């Protein structure tokens, strides 16, 4: 492995996860043969079985009795093909993906405000030139360490970093100003900051008049969020709020970036909207060197949300309930628009409906491990167990794969061609570097094999180049227009920013430079109100639990826990708690503690640290069990679950 | 169901919006009519001090947009005084002849300023409404010396605001120290000093006997120049309607836990209401009350009850940080008191603790822990044994340790999990400069933040070798 230094996002930087990723290619835990009820079988037997069962289930219970669940780590080609497979080969509307747990709140808020959801609507290198960056709920120093290089450059140039986080994370330690917000109150804090911006005459009225609509209503709505009230709700001292607003106002160029900490709430869309309102009031979006952005999570978290593995979506970031979008995509797919299913259930609702009438009875799962990563995971595991058929495609036997009737071994990153779209909206080509182990198929080959058996093999090529060319057509004219991007163009350079509507188009690094992607070209400010967490603390569950990531692990840990160096760095679940709380619970560092919520219990090793608030405990979610605690209360717009805050009790295990 | 609300201030306007918000959820049809004696749209009274000080514009105090009422089907009678309540007919009678029938009536009539009965009182200005604010600001433009009478929360905010406009201000207060309801003597003293630094002269223990043209006379015979006099002598609940309608009235309109008066179809909320012996003068309780009434009348939660509020007073005055909450007057023999004073820096911090719970606090001067203390007070959460930590934030993390003192197990590069021991081992194996150590360990290749530290360790190892050779 060598570092490639010409890609601006990381400029050759990698953390331990990156440097050790190649170990997984040769891991002894690698799956190399299909498993049918735990028994190694050949591909024909496995796929015949799956296709036969799918047909039987659908014959008895209808097309929607089969569901598909995808992942934000899949390449654009796979994500696209999965959406098409569900709607054309299976004719089911029941498809969603784990990005619902990741990007959906930001996506919903950004689409509403700007008409287009591209995580960073500017090149990532703009960050280094900013005079101030506000990171809301975003711990990049652990989740994406090379990102910190951009922040470091920004600070070396005199810029200031503000971090909003309930924990003193490694990222918060880098900050000039850390606002240590109470879990579940980021929205109130954003409202308070906007109130101060208006009070201090920092609102850019010229910009607001020219490029936005809705400021008057928003100004009225934040009148009731004066800083002293916000302090009482959030725990953030008024003086620090004033300082944050002063820093943002003093900067020529400023950015507001949100991460999962602000987004993974039952009011995540509103929280992101509040930060967008703040950015718009300051006149940042669409101004070169400034802006609002969301820091996208998974490897292909951006592309994964654009091409149709989402319940309500068709390729090109089109809406599945838009007749014009249906007509366009149906034509590319050679089907009647009327035959395309409508919107299906969102991720948690889909998982929660499995095996329970009238929910789906069979599930095909690609690139996800919901037994570990879904909220209220104990319930999700029970639902999976109630299925007539569970089929999982994965590279290792994940916790979810271990429950499957059929496990299909698949290729991974260095073994296949494909594109991914990074956090700044840059489409990158990931090339095959090594041959996959014998007996392992790519997801595209698996889908083709299944489609063959369902009588639609002709519509599902297994070659990623062919699939991408079809994706280009399907996305043509859509919001995320890839029609001008080719594998050859990508191979020749360092990627292209979408939208890219023609082969001679240079791509669009700053889509909001002249106008926003709304019908009238103006951004929308939308008034939003704070409300408490879906589950607040009480006498029985007196502490907040917030979950997050550690540096050594990625997502459900299915990959990283199998890499010895990473396992050694972070070998298991821990519970981070404040010394005051530890003393009260009679817990010493290293003790085993049990955390219980209304939904389940989990155990971990106590880590005593002042990095956490005394009213909150933190657990990383990379291991099975932690998400048995979390609350599946859903955001009414994005259907994002409330991962970031629920009420728990903690005790020492004696 | 016909709901009539009398009063469209902080409490009344909040009630109406809360009712409409629930209406959208529950689908219950509530017809709403609002009467308000002031002719303007509702505004945020909490921010008036900021408007006076010029730190908030009149635009910013608007509580509802002008079109809101029409969009939400709320009938308004602005600038219309209510003359009486016909309880038998369940009708509200207004001065313009309107007779508005109700199924539920909510009194949110608020309070009015107390004007001391002294000669020349009419020369002073009250500080209660947006209009008052405009009048005071206009007068401040040509005034040379202002006097504020009354050293409670509002008086202190007004004095600070006027001083901020560049006017010399004298603040006269009857009690022995400022804000005596919230503060103890020492806090009052420190506050007085802080105000002096921003141009407010404070005189306590004095009573105004007359307002003459250009000056204010005190009962002790002293005279203070003043061409702008503001009264902030407290407020009294507006209870005339309730009293004339025969409802039970003490200091305020007496209500139960459902905010009902002794007539079940009439509620009272906000500063005109008296619940469990308390008349609240702050907005937070009024809003909690509005939420309870909205729950009850819309049917969203007929069992909703109001159990009283924990009172936090937070001064809004530039350069004067003050939070006071709960029982601040308890003494050492009644409770555990933790206290820190530093008059010179304008700092006074006092915690009142009972049963390991924070039951009161005064925090004067910038207090980094003000947010967590307010939450501990609000929630009644258990306190840590270390009381000092409550008053001062945790000490900042120590700077980077010198390579010599760092244990081998210390992680130098977080991103790639490289310890000092690993760098040493690598160095011993022949990697004698930074690039060689980087190549061998991948240290510095993540966020890049440890570059100096790794370089320092390599340099130190080289130096050590030099010493030992």
The CATH number of the domain holding residue B105 is 3.50.50.60
Using CB atoms, which residue from B61, B371, B415 is nearest to A551? B415
What is the rounded CA–CA span in Å between residue A356 and residue A388? Answer: 11
The residue segments making up the domain with residue B423 are: 411-468
Identify the pLDDT of residue B469: 43
pLDDT in tens, A335-385: 999 999 999 999 999 999 999 999 999 999 999 999 999 999 999 999 999
Residue B311 lies in a domain: no
Identify the pLDDT of residue A232: 96
For A31-102+321-412+438-458, the fitting CATH number among 3.40.50.300, 3.40.50.740, 3.30.1510.10, 3.40.190.10 is 3.40.50.740
DSSP 8-state class, residue B100: E
Chain B from 422 to 451: CB within 8 A of any A CB: 442, 445-449
Question: Is the peptide bond preceding residue A499 cis, with omega within 30 degrees of 0?
Answer: yes
Q: Give the distance from residue B123's alpha carbon to the nearest chain A alpha carbon, in angstroms.
A: 31
Residue B201 lies in a domain: yes
- How far CA B191 is from CA of A259, B322, B367, in Å, comes to 41, 9, 14
Q: Which of A146, A127, A143, A136 is nearest to A178 (CA)?
A: A136
Cβ atoms of A1 and B432 within 8 Å: the answer is: no
What is the rounded CA–CA span in Å between residue A256 and residue A190? Answer: 11
Examine the pLDDT at A556 and tell me if it is beyond 80: yes
DSSP 8-state class, residue B399: -
Chain B from 303 to 322: CB within 8 A of any A CB: 312, 314, 316, 321
- Fold of the domain built from segment(s) A543-652: Barwin-like endoglucanases (2.40.40)
Q: Domain holding B416: CATH number?
A: 1.10.10.1100
Q: Which residues, 6 or more positions from A593, have their beta carbon under 8 angstroms from its beta carbon?
A: A575, A577, A585, A587, A603, A604, A605, A606, A650, A651, A652, A653
Q: Which of B17, B392, B447, B451 to mutate to test the interface with A (most CBs of A within 10 A)?
A: B447
Examine the pLDDT at A583 and tell me if it is beyond 80: yes
Residue B405 lies in a domain: no
Q: Which of A10, B450, B447, A3 is nearest to B437 (CA)?
A: B450
pLDDT in tens, A391-423: 999 999 999 999 999 999 999 999 999 999 999
Identify the pLDDT of residue B38: 86
Residues B138 and B279 placed together within one structural domain of the fold = no
**Mean pLDDT, all residues of chain A:** 96
The alpha carbon dihedral of B376, B382, B388, B393 has a sign of negative
Residue B464 lies in a domain: yes
B459 contacts chain A (CB < 8 A)? no
Rounded average pLDDT over B381-392: 85
Cβ atoms of B457 and B434 within 8 Å: the answer is: no
Lowest-pLDDT range of B56-60, B69-73, B89-93:
B56-60
Q: Which residues, 6 or more positions from A654, have their beta carbon under 8 angstroms from its beta carbon?
A: none
| Interface pTM, i.e. ipTM | 0.91
Same fold, A31-102+321-412+438-458 and A105-295: no
Nearest CA in chain A to B373: A235
Rounded average pLDDT over A52-67: 98
Q: Is B384 in Cβ contact with A614 (below 8 Å)?
A: yes
Q: Which helix (H) or strand (E) covers residue B339, if one does?
A: strand B336-342
Identify the pLDDT of residue B402: 78
Place of tokens 């095996």: A355
3-state SS of A320-389? CCCHHHHHHHHHHHCCCHHHCCCCCCCHHHHHHHCCCCCCCCEEEEECCCHHHHCCCHHHHHHHHHCCCE
Residue B289 lies in a domain: yes
Q: Which of A15, A164, A205, A584 to mutate to test the interface with B (most CBs of B within 10 A)?
A: A15
Residues B193 and B241 placed together within one structural domain of the fold = no
What is the rounded CA–CA span in Å between residue A200 and residue A204? Answer: 11
Rounded average pLDDT over B117-146: 94
Examine the pLDDT at B468 and tell me if it is beyond 60: no
What is the rounded CA–CA span in Å between residue A601 and residue A278? Answer: 38
- How far CA A50 is from CA of A35, A631, B407, in Å, comes to 11, 33, 57
Residues B92 and B107 placed together within one structural domain of the fold = yes
Examine the pLDDT at B394 and tell me if it is beyond 70: no
A615 contacts chain B (CB < 8 A)? yes
Rounded average pLDDT over B231-241: 96
Q: Which pTM was predicted? A: 0.95
What is the rounded CA–CA span in Å between residue A637 and residue A273? Answer: 12
What is the rounded CA–CA span in Å between residue B155 and residue B171? Answer: 8
Residues B13 and B86 placed together within one structural domain of the fold = yes
- How far CA B455 is from CA of A489, A500, B109, B403, B452, in Å, comes to 40, 44, 71, 10, 5
B370-379 and A227-234 helices cross at what angle (nearest 10)?
Answer: 70
Q: Write down the number of H helices and E strands in chain A.
A: 23, 27
Residue B396 lies in a domain: no
What is the rounded CA–CA span in Å between residue B92 and residue B110? Answer: 17
> Could you tell me the residue ranges of all domains in chain A?
31-102+321-412+438-458, 105-295, 543-652
For A105-295, the fitting CATH number among 3.40.50.970, 3.40.228.10, 3.40.50.1260, 3.40.50.1100 is 3.40.228.10
Q: Is A235 in Cβ contact with B448 (below 8 Å)?
A: no
Beta bridge partners of A544: A616, A647
**Mean pLDDT, all residues of chain B:** 92
Rounded average pLDDT over B336-350: 94
Residues B369 and B464 placed together within one structural domain of the fold = no
Residues B89 and B41 placed together within one structural domain of the fold = yes
Q: How confident is the model at residue B284 (pLDDT cuts 50, 70, 90)?
A: very high
Chain A from 235 to 264: CB within 8 A of any B CB: 235-239
Q: How confident is the model at residue B92 (pLDDT cuts 50, 70, 90)?
A: very high
Supply A268's token pair: 């995540």
**Residues of chain B found within 8 Å of residue A194, distances taken between Cβ atoms:** none
Domain count, chain B: 4
End-to-end CA distance of chain A: 46
Supply A546's token pair: 């917030």
What is the rounded CA–CA span in Å between residue B63 and residue B76? Answer: 15
What is the rounded CA–CA span in Å between residue B93 and residue B77? Answer: 12
């Amino acid at each position: 492995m060598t570092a490639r230094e010409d890609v601006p996002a990381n400029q050759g930087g990698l953390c331990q996860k990156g440097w050790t990723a190649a170990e997984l290619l040769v891991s002894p835990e690698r799956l190399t043969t299909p498993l049918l009820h735990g028994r190694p079988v050949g591909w024909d037997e496995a796929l015949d079985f799956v296709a036969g069962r799918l047909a039987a289930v659908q014959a008895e219970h209808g097309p929607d009795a089969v569901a598909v669940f995808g992942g934000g780590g899949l390449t654009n080609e796979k994500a696209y093909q999965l959406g098409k497979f569900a709607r054309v080969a299976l004719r089911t509307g029941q498809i969603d993906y784990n990005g619902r747990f990741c990007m959906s709140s930001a996506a919903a808020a950004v689409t509403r405000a700007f008409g287009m959801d591209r995580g960073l609507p500017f090149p990532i290198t703009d960050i280094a030139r900013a005079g101030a960056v506000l990171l809301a709920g975003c711990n990049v120093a652990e989740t994406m360490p090379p990102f910190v290089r951009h922040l470091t450059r920004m600070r070396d140039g005199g810029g200031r970093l503000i971090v909003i986080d309930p924990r003193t994370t490694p990222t918060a330690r880098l900050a000039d100003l850390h606002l240590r917000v109470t879990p579940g109150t980021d929205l109130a804090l954003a409202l308070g900051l906007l109130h101060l911006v208006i009070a201090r005459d920092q609102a850019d009225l010229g910009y607001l008049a020219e490029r936005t609509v809705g400021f008057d209503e928003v100004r009225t709505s934040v009148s009731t969020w004066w800083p002293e009230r916000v302090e009482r709700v959030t725990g953030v001292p008024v003086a620090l709020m004033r300082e944050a607003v002063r820093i943002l106002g003093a900067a020529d160029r400023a950015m507001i970036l949100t991460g999962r900490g602000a987004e993974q709430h039952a009011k995540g869309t509103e929280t992101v909207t509040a930060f967008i309102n703040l950015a718009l009031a300051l006149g940042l979006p669409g101004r070169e060197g400034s802006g609002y952005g969301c820091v996208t999570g998974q490897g292909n978290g951006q592309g994964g949300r654009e091409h149709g593995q989402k319940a309500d979506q068709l390729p090109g970031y089109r809406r599945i309930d838009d007749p014009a979008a249906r007509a366009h995509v149906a034509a590319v797919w050679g089907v009647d628009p009327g035959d395309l299913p409508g919107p299906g259930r969102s991720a948690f609702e889909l998982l929660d409906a499995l095996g329970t009438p009238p929910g789906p009875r069979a599930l095909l799962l690609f690139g996800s491990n919901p037994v570990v990563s879904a909220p209220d995971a104990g319930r999700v595991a029970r639902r999976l167990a109630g299925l007539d058929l569970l089929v999982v495609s994965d590279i290792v036997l994940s916790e979810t794969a271990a429950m499957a009737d059929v496990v299909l071994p698949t290729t991974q990153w260095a073994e296949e061609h494909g594109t991914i779209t990074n956090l700044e909206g840059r489409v990158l080509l990931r090339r095959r570097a090594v041959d996959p182990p014998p007996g392992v198929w790519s997801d595209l080959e698996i889908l083709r094999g299944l489609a063959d058996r369902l009588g639609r093999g002709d519509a599902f090529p297994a070659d990623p180049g062919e699939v991408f060319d079809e994706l280009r057509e399907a996305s043509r004219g859509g919001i995320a227009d890839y029609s001008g991007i080719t594998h050859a163009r990508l191979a020749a350079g360092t990627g292209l920013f979408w939208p890219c509507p023609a082969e001679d188009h240079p791509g669009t690094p700053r889509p909001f430079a002249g106008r926003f992607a709304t019908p009238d070209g103006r951004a929308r400010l939308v008034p939003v109100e704070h409300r408490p967490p879906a589950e607040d603390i009480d006498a029985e569950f007196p502490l907040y639990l917030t979950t997050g990531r550690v540096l050594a692990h990625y997502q459900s840990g299915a990959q990283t826990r199998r890499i010895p160096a990473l396992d050694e760095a972070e070998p298991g679940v821990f519970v981070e708690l404040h010394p005051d709380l530890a003393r009260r619970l009679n817990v010493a560092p290293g003790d085993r503690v049990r955390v219980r919520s209304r939904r389940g219990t989990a155990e971990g090793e106590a880590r005593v640290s002042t990095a956490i608030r005394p009213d909150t405990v933190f657990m990383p979610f990379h291991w099975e069990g932690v998400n048995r605690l979390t609350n599946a209360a859903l955001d009414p717009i994005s259907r994002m679950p409330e991962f970031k805050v629920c009420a728990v009790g903690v005790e020492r295990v004696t | 169901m016909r709901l009539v609300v009398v009063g469209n201030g902080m409490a009344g306007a909040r009630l109406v919006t809360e009712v409409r918000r629930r209406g959208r959820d529950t689908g219950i049809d509530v017809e709403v009519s609002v009467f308000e004696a002031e002719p303007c749209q509702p505004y945020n009274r909490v921010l008036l001090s900021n408007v006076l000080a010029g730190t908030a514009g009149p635009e910013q105090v608007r509580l509802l947009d002008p079109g809101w009422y029409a969009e939400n089907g709320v009938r308004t009678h602005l600038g219309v005084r209510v003359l009486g309540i016909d309880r038998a007919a369940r009708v509200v009678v207004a001065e313009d002849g309107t007779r508005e029938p109700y199924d539920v009536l909510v009194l949110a009539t608020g309070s009015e300023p107390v004007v001391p009965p002294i000669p020349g009182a009419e020369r002073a200005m009250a500080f209660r409404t947006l209009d008052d604010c405009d009048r005071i600001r206009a007068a401040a433009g040509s005034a040379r010396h202002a006097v504020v009478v009354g050293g409670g929360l509002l008086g202190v905010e007004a004095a600070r605001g006027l001083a901020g406009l560049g006017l010399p201000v004298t603040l006269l207060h009857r009690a022995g120290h400022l804000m005596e309801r919230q503060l103890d003597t020492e806090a009052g003293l420190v506050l007085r000093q802080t105000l002096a630094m921003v141009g407010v002269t404070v005189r306590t223990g004095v009573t105004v006997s007359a307002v003459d043209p250009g000056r204010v006379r005190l009962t002790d015979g002293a005279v203070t120049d003043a061409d702008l006099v503001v009264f902030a002598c407290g407020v009294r609940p507006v209870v005339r309607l309730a009293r004339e309608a025969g409802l039970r009235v003490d200091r305020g309109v007496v209500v139960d836990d459902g905010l009902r008066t002794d007539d079940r179809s009439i509620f009272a909320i906000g500063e005109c209401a008296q619940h469990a012996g308390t008349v609240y003068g702050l907005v937070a309780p009024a809003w909690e009350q509005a939420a309870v009434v909205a729950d009850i009348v819309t049917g969203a939660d007929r069992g909703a009850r109001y159990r009283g509020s924990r009172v936090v007073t937070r001064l809004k005055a530039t350069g004067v940080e003050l939070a006071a909450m709960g029982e601040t007057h308890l003494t050492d023999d009644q409770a555990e008191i933790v206290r820190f004073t530093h008059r010179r820096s304008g700092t006074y911090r006092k915690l009142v603790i009972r049963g390991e719970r924070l039951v009161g606090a005064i925090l004067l001067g910038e207090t980094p822990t003000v947010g967590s203390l307010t939450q501990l007070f609000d929630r009644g959460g258990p306190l840590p044994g270390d009381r000092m930590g409550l008053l001062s934030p945790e000490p900042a993390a120590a700077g980077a340790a010198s390579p010599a003192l760092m244990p081998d197990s210390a992680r130098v590069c977080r991103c790639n999990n490289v310890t000092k021991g690993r760098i040493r081992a690598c160095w011993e194996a022949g990697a004698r400069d930074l690039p060689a150590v980087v190549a061998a360990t991948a240290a510095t290749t993540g966020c890049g933040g440890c570059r100096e530290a790794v370089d320092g360790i390599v340099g130190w190892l080289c130096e050590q070798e030099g010493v030992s050779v």
